[in-house]
Structure 1
Amino acid sequence: MAERYQNLNPIYQEILKAERLKNLMRIAKCIENSTVGVFETTLDDQILEVSVSFCDLLGYSASQISQLKYEQICHPDDLSAYYFLKERLLSGEIDHCYLNVRYIREDGQIVQVLQSTDLSVDNTKEPNFVNRFEDITDWEQTAKNQRDADNRTRYLFENNPNPMWIYDIETLRFLAVNQAAINHYGYSEAEFLSMTLQDIRPPEDIPRLLEAISKVSVGFTESEVWRHCKKDGSHIIVSVSAHTLIYNNRKCELILINDVTQKMQAEEALKRAEARYRSIFENAIEGIFQSSVDGRFLIANPMLAKIYGYESSTDLIENLTDIGSQLYVDPQRRLELINLLKEQEDVKLFESEVYRKDGAIIWTSENVYAVHDVAGNILYFEGTVEDITASKIAKAEIEHLAFHDSLTNLPNRVLFRDRLSKALNNSSEKLHSYLDQMQEVEIKLIPPLLAVLFLDLDRFKLVNDTMGHAAGDRLLIEVAKRLSECMFESTFLARMGGDEFMIFVSDLQSVESIQQFAQLILQSFEVPFFVEEMALYIGTSIGISLYPSDGMDEDTLMKHADTAMFRAKERGRNHYQLYNHAIGAQVMEYVAIENGIRQALERSEFQVFYQPQINLATGEIDCVEALARWLHPELGWVPPNQFIPAAEEHGLIVRLGEWILRTACSQTRSWQKNGLPHIRVAVNFSVKQFQSPNLCDRIMQILAETDLEPQYLELEITESLVMQDQNTVIKMLRQLQSLGMRVSIDDFGTGYSSLSYLRLLPVSKVKIDASFVRETPQNNEDAAITSAIIAMAHNLNLIAIAEGVERKEQLEFLRSHNCDAVQGYLFSRPVPAHEATLLLQAQFK
């Protein structure tokens, strides 16, 4: 009830009207003990028990009046006073109250009565109000009535819970204030009575105040909102109701104050919240909706309309009237959603395919909540919708990429192993069934149930080196297509990486059938592959392992197929080879090389040889290239082209490279200390070394440890190294160059982007690959390439050095084309450090 009658201002406006104060409370004391009529009302103002005099006064029968409420017999202008005093009775602030009110008779006439109301609380029945009244319409005004009315008016003024005061309209001085005003504003009564209205107003509001006072008229004024200042300096917002009266023979205004600061702040906060909600609703990046149980949208924001392809929220609501059949591709999804909501009230991330207005199909994710009534019945649904079509597509692509090769779109190693494992499970069941029938038969004698084929392309590196990686990639794509054409129902093809492919064949009938299949693949490679309009003839070597004779699990079968492929290549390439244990034994030597590298480092089996580079202008050695050699205790000298790739494969190349660098730097510094001329030492660096983020720091540390100045170290890199990560490598090379070291490109001319990136590389020397020098000058094409590289290097202010110089005619050709330096067997093979020392001593005596 308090909420219903929270606006108290009109109460006091009515009570304090001058024309009604004449009658108010004059005879209250007389009525208290002499009641003319009585009626009871409930807390909700329903009239209950009535006296005969009450019926006579209003002209209703007892049955008629018992159907009425108090508000139907009370004059509308007097209701607010009644409601206010009723609230005070209920709150316990007063024990009883008096009202000078007007009743409306059944015939429409108005009678003036003095009403006394008490709250009756009886444990045997519901609380109710007992109202006593007396008709005072024709009473004469007596002095006693006036005094009683004055006393009651003063009581109402002094005990009013809201601040009230009287001020002189002419001087604006306070003439009277109630206790509520003193408490609320913080001024004492004496302070109030020494102040004017201007003292409690902000200075900027004074002009408006004076203008409002100049327009004061007789009677009530509508409530207005003002700012007031409290004693502590804080400002409050108040609703002011006023009534003119004569007080102490002065024209005054009686003021009723209702502090609405919190109310205004709450309303403002509510407006801001509503604005924020509206903004969120209108501008949300997710669709927001309310929908009925029968499948209609009740509310939809613009984003929801956009998601479903409608021009506006109204367009969506008016046209999409059956969500289940019009929206969902599978109408059952709507039923599934509703059933879930019945079970758990809210559903999150409910994904469905839905139709847009134009018929396109998209994926959406819904978060939906069911709103229930007090009885637990679903009133409607509300929630959000997000278009997840793009993420669905991306997720599918990611899943595809996770299990497929990005270049050829074939299954990758991960998917191959997974499918092979499942195929082996099926084959295992067949094997057990076969063993149960045959009993005590050797595994090797059982016909093959599954085969694994390992394919490695022949001469693929040559294509990469001569035509570039782009051409190599194109060739791999064509190979994948060719192999796919050879597949049939029980085969599974995958690219394992590089130029390696694997196939497994399930449901085999015989060894001959897998041999025929391998031969079919080899025959398909007899037709040339066309790359960049060039016909390329390449072959493939195939290794085959069989289940169960060659292995019982995927790892063993894949390993043995790899071993068989290795033997197929040894046979001359473009062959297939079935695995047998003899092949495994022959591969042991290669495995011994791989596994022996780590021990070789520990046992100091590696050595550094040096091959001089001759400056053609001076005829002197100005640089030596450091080359690693390995003397295996059982295998003897192991060629670098065997142990270097193995070191890279086993992650030992960085460790080996650092050992070579430290040894070469230490030897160079030793030559300097022994009085030999200061020459540079060139050291090869691999791709994996350049992938180390602290390479520059490690090189400088080794130079510091060996006491060699950076200017005497030359780093040899290959074009393929630069192509691995151009930006990172170029940045690192520039840093090394800035520290004083030189950089040269080894095997120049064999890469696929030489001319494009050479100008970007911070290098000082290019080494012409021995493959071009070998047939120079008799081979016109090689001679042309060699001379072109020399000319290009000079145009870029680079030094050109030729590798693999073994004959005098090669030297003369290079000299005639102004090649700067040469390196090769014509001058010296790579030699141990002590022999290199003799070469330097002989030259610089």
Structure 2
Amino acid sequence: MSLFKLDFLKRKKRQEDIPVLSDLFNMSLFDFRSDIFLLFDRNGRLMEANQAFTNTLGYSLEEFKQLTYGSLLPDTQRQRAKEHFQKLLHGEIQIFEIRVLHKTGQFIDLTVTAFPRKRKDAVDGFYAIAKDLSDIKLMEQRYISLLKNMLSAAFIIDLQGNILDVNDAAVKLTGYDKQEHVHFSQFVKPEYLEQAMAYNQRALEGETLSFQISILHKNGHSVDVITTLSPIFMHEQITGIIGISNDISDETRNKQLFQINKQRYESLFEQNPDAISYFDLNGNFMDCNSSLEQILGYSREELLYSNYSRLIAEHERDKARHYFNQALQGTVQSYELVCLHKQGHPVYMKMTKLPITVDNRIVGIYSIAKDVTTKKQAENALIEAESKYRSLVEKSIVGVYIIQKNMILYANPHLIDMLGYQEAIIGMSIWDIVYPDDHPVVKQNIQFLYNESDAIRHPLRVLTAEGKLLDVEMYSNRITYQGAPAVIGTVLDVTERKRAEELNAFLAYHDSLTELPNRRKFEEMLEKTLETAKTARRQFAVMYLDMDRFKSINDSLGHAVGDQLLIAFAKRLREQIRENDFAARMGGDEFTVILPQIKDNNSAIEVAKRIIEGIREPFYIEDYELFITTSVGISIYPNDGDDSSTLMKNADSALYRAKGLGKNGYQIFTSSMNVQTYKIFTLEKDLRKAISRNELEMYYQPKVNIHTGEIVGAEALIRWNHPEWGLVSPNEFIPISEETGLILSLGNWVKRTVCRQNKEWQLDGLKPIPISVNVTAKRFLSKDIMDTIGQILAETGLEPRYLEIEITETSLLENAETVMDTLDGLNKLGVTISLDDFGTGYSSLSYLKRFKHAIDILKIDRSFIHDLHQGSDDNAIISTIIQLAQHMNMSVVAEGVETEEQLHILKLLNCDLVQGYLFSRPVQAEAFAELLKRGFLTPLIKGADAPIENRRAYFRVHLPHPISALMTVIEINGRSIELGKTEIVIENIGAGGLRFLSSIQLAVHPGILLEIEAQLLNKIFKLYGKVVWLKELESGIYRYGLEFQIGDNDRTPLTRVLHTLSMQLLKNPIVPGCRFIKEDGVQYLRAFIDHRSL
């Protein structure tokens, strides 16, 4: 569709709305119009016309009426005219172009709008409005000719952006055929579409404008174009747009290519790691890149227009000038040169010089230089290394060799000296040197090297020229030597090292002193024996031995004698056991023996007796005749355990029992070991590890001014938080520490801990008070006691006056001179001395008088305080002690104060200080710090500090007389144990628990499960439970509350019996069928303890 048809269609739209003219139509009204107005009847005869008709076609109205409508049309259009005429008769408006014959004989193009005239709903003619298109057609022809002949792509676009026409150049530009051009947006690239639509709108508003965008060719590639849009005016109205586009893709690509090449060049120039520079014909710098700046240290500005010679080492300048001149002759020059860095050090450069030619004329020199300093240094280093390597090989302390075809081609001096063959080794076969048994492995290794080429390390045995066998370690690798495969390697003599390794391997499983197998070897052997015994279903025995009195001999005669005694003991032990038996040293003076095959217990007993008898014979060590004995504990598999740990534990238990029965004997394990024995046994075994495991803890009990209640001091009391037995009293483990020699380290730990804690309290702003620690007689009499206390005070920073040392009367009886020296030394140091448990020992007043100047405080023993009441004999004793102390300028502390009556009497007797449960039990450090913050204490309300003994969920039967029963521990922390039973006294019993007395100190510990065996109405009940509270009644006697751990099936029969018992007790306080004790339970247990100790 042409642009000019566009105008025609616009008019057609407007004329569709023209109303039907009335019969009063007056053609003269349209004479002033340039358009032709006509009226035809239904036969097509012209009835009326305006003046424009004559002006346009040259006919008068009369002349035209004589003519038929069809005679004025070309033959090609008559049929179409008839079709339009028929449609008009049917009432349809017609718009069309047509050619009409001018009076002069020329055809004129008209655009016609015709619409029917109706009368009484019938068409009786039609009106026509025609416009001369001659000028428009001429213009259209011109446009078409213009578009056709344009080299630029042309587009005719309507108001909606639809493309009406394009020229051939446009078809070529877009790749689309003419009929495929629908809308301009179809080939504008998406990113330019919004911009193109904006430009299009501006052209529709009358603006002519040019812009650059990219369009998409039909085949998909992008085309850059510059487009000019101009509005098309028809009858002073914009009817469309003509767009002219020119392909500028080549220009754009050229620009882009130029930019890319420029960037590439700049990148190659600036970012090239090689130094690039330009010189004029005289060798002056015209430009250089940053690499040259970095390599030589000069900036571009410093080098510009200066001569290259300034960068060359002086001895290289003639060489540089020669190659520069050669480049000026037109040849490329490559060479190495030594340049100078700005800082003066040499830089090795590999140079390439190329002539720069313009119009066949050399105008300068282009230079590329690579820094090869590192390479040069490496080459020089390689030369030096080769020299050093040769020297290293020649002077190496390991042997170096080269072999080829099993023949030795090279051996360094060390290898020659090692093997002793001198120069004759060169040319020898390796089979003359390698130990024959190792030939197969050497052949295999050589073959591996030739096939795999990986280096290998392997041990080997070789023979020296003297026939001596050496252990060596070889490191071999494959090389090419003189054009053929060969092996190079090193030889290290490891003969001595191997002997040392064998010794270390021996020592890893053997005791270095006695050469017996050690603990590690013993444990492996025990596991192996156990496995064999399980498979063969046979018995074997484990013995645990230690040397009686060894510690005494070792301490008195010295470690040298002690070591010789251990060696002799081990030798004699080996002599007494059977050939297949296994003996080991576990450490210290402890030994073990495995008897892998025994028929019965008697077999083990026979060996034990033989060992005991053999050890009883005297040992002669140096100038001493020594007599020692040994104790032996025996456990038998499988009766005494089916795993190694149980067998060892039970053998250890049996050993402990043997020592407890007088030493120099043996015991076979039996579960009859009671709770107390087992507890002491485990405490002794675990005490060594208590400090390292942080199981020890200090408790503090305040000392109070009897008149004011002010806290003026405290006693530090050690407690052991044992993992199995809970809180253990020092009365139980201090004697053990003395027997085992641990008292020294334990005592030092106590003093250090107390001093450090006291100093921390002072630094926290708490009131400074002296804190006392107990020191045993043995420790007090040791030579280093003063040095140790001084060192601890220095370490902790505590002033000596805040440390109080408590000693017992026994300490004064040993060595008077030593005691005096120690007391004087501690007094000079500034430490306070108190005499503990005064009145219970064997000291006399003469001793007290002698040491009065050194003792600051007397402590009245709790045994006197316990029985203190109005009218008591102890009142006079205590009064005497207080008066004696005051006469000697000593303070007095009464310990064990528990009642208001005791406190009142002590006030009347003028006692200074008191200590006891009435004010506070011993408490942990945190709790004591809170007491110290308060500063004062008042007596506790009676019973406030006592355990709650009567809180229970079930009824209790209160027994008028206690019942004797048996108690044992059956489980500790989930581990079952077998122990003998210990007698206890039951005070009351219910369905939920019972209260009992015992001479064994147990802990309130959820992991300890007790078994109580009691006879009630002739029935034996085994009751299981855990201790939930305890109270110490007097030294060695404890009261416990036990909560049963039993189910309803066991509780029901017990409840029935207890109901029956309670009813019978109303009639008879000693009901038959129960093990009643008529005396007091405490007295009964005290008598039992005294009898046991006899």
What TM-score does the superposition give when structure 2 sets the normalisation length? 0.39
Higher relative contact order (CA 8 A, sep 6+): 1
What TM-score does the superposition give when structure 1 sets the normalisation length? 0.48
Point out the structure with the larger helix share: 1
| Structure with larger Rg | 2
Point out the structure with the larger strand share: 2
